[in-house]
Amino acid sequence: MAGRASLIAIALILAALFGVAFANSSSPGDFGITLLSGLFQGMLLFLVASGLSIVFGLMDVLNLAQGSYFMVGAYVAYDAQHAGGVIDLTSVLPDPNLRFIGAVLAAIAVGALLGYLLERGLLRPLYSRPIFQLVLTFGVSLVALELVKFIWTTTPYSWTELFGVRESFFELFGQRFSTYRLFVVGMGIALIVAIGLLLQRSRIGIIIRAGVEDREMVQALGINVRAVFTLVFTLGCAIAAFGGAVAAPFLGASTTLGNIFLLQAIAVVVLGGMGSYSGTAVGSVLVGLAIAVAQDTAIGTAFAALPSITPMLLLVLVLLVRPSGLFGKS
């Protein structure tokens, strides 16, 4: 659990973010939009960072290809939703709402399959060589990028195929809020709770938490740790691809998605405390909110780069107070 210093740090960051957001807002609705946008970005970040964090904690592998799974998820979902792509679902599922569900499932399946292949095929022989793993996963991210360019060209795609929840709005404090953002935030929170329950309550969760502490002992108890590695890695990649798929209707599909989310997710994981699940969940929300506040602040000023450097600024600030991250063990 986080110590008192961490809880104070979290409270101070939240207070500062809310303060700036409030100062920037002209109305409560404005403030609400910044908040929802922050939570939306935080949840997308969580979907990349959770896999990164659990895999790092359990396997000591920093998967630099994690962002690529997010990007691939976005492309697969885009492709499946729109007519004329590689996976054309328009004739099988003419209803765009159902097709979106199909597109998300397709992205999860592709993410899981590619994750499984990476772990079993390439990563497994390199568990005793940490530097090689970094080079390998970085190399895989480059290959993934080139493959995406080859299959879908370099032109970014904007989402054009409309479906119910994507288009609807609701009104609060005289402002129109996108239902889709709320839907993604809801999904994200549900997933945070579901993964948390899996880690706390299930046997596989106990094995993962024990493995984070001492893999060798878990093995000596008769548990096949390698099989658990494969499962966790595959799940992590599937979740990242799911993130890309639900982000695509808003952000579209582009080749830069992978790197942007990877860098921000690494900031989240370090800020939260390497290998700590709660840290990753809290870190995602803080970084997401900080980016939204920075985007709001940067509008109409010369600091256009503010949102993109905000995660790192926040990270530096936290590490100055807590060198092992908010929930990390000192």
Partner 1 sequence: MSSILEVRDIHTFIGQFHILEGVSVSVTTGGITVLLGRNGAGKTTTLRSIIGLTPPARGSIHFDGKPIQGRQSHNIAQLGIGYVPEHRAIFRSLSVRENLQLAERRSGDFARKADFIFDLFPDLKRLIELPGGNLSGGQQQMLAVARALVPENRLLLIDEPSEGLAPVIIEQLIAAIQRLSSQVSVLLVEQNFRVASKLAQSYVIIDEGHSVAAGAMADLVQDKALIQRYLGVA
Q: Which residues bind partner 1 (CB under 8 A)?
A: 203, 206-207, 209-210, 213-214, 216-225
Nearer to partner 1, 43 or 207 (CB): 207
Report the nearest approach of partner 1 to the CB of residue 124 (Å). 13
Contacts for 46 with CB less than 8 Å, ≥ 6 apart? 188, 191, 192, 243, 268, 280, 281, 284, 285
> 3-state class of 175 per DSSP?
strand
Residue with structure tokens 């402002």? Answer: 175
Cα separation, 154 vs 145, whole angstroms:
10
Nearer to partner 1, 150 or 203 (CB): 203
Six-digit token pair at 149?
Answer: 């360019």
Report the nearest approach of partner 1 to the CB of residue 54 (Å). 14
Nearer to partner 1, 168 or 224 (CB): 224
For the chain, first and last CA: distance in Å?
Answer: 12
Cα separation, 174 vs 257, whole angstroms:
33
Report the nearest approach of partner 1 to the CB of residue 236 (Å). 20
Nearer to partner 1, 29 or 205 (CB): 205
Cα separation, 150 vs 285, whole angstroms:
34
Six-digit token pair at 172?
Answer: 């609060």
Report the nearest approach of partner 1 to the CB of residue 280 (Å). 16
Report the nearest approach of partner 1 to the CB of residue 49 (Å). 20
Cα separation, 158 vs 250, whole angstroms:
8
Nearer to partner 1, 206 or 298 (CB): 206
Nearer to partner 1, 220 or 305 (CB): 220
Nearer to partner 1, 171 or 216 (CB): 216
Cα separation, 314 vs 285, whole angstroms:
12
Six-digit token pair at 79?
Answer: 């492709």
Report the nearest approach of partner 1 to the CB of residue 214 (Å). 6
User: Sign of torsion, CA 155 158 160 163?
Assistant: positive
Cα separation, 324 vs 6, whole angstroms:
10
Report the nearest approach of partner 1 to the CB of residue 273 (Å). 13
